[in-house]
């Protein structure tokens, strides 16, 4: 199995992130970006950290999820 995420260049990532942020502002909605790339965590307003361990999933976040 190939990890295609390694093929995404940084300019593509920047452009995609800019589009998502613009959509979020214009629609006044939260958009959740799901990624395994740790470097994105500091570039977005909110993060949700999900961990699967021993068959159970747990999460923590810096915002309330309704």
Place of tokens 């976040």: 61
| 54 backbone dihedrals φ, ψ, rounded to 5° | 55, 40
Q: How far apart, in whole angstroms, are the C-alpha atoms of residue 18 and residue 12?
A: 10
Cβ-based neighbour number of residue 20 at 10 Å: 14
For residue 57, the cross-strand partners are: 52
Q: How far apart, in whole angstroms, are the C-alpha atoms of residue 31 and residue 16?
A: 12
At 2 the pLDDT is 53
pLDDT tens per residue, range 3-47:
555 566 777 878 888 898 899 899 998 888 777 777 777 777 777
At 62 the pLDDT is 65
For 32, the token pair is 């959740």
């Amino acid at each position: 199995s190939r990890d295609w995420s390694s093929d995404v260049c940084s300019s593509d990532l920047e452009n995609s992130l800019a589009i998502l942020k613009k959509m979020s502002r214009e629609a006044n909605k939260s958009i959740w970006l799901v990624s395994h790339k740790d470097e994105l965590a500091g570039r977005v307003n909110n993060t949700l950290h999900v961990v699967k361990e021993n068959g159970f999933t747990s999460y923590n976040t810096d915002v309330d999820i309704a």
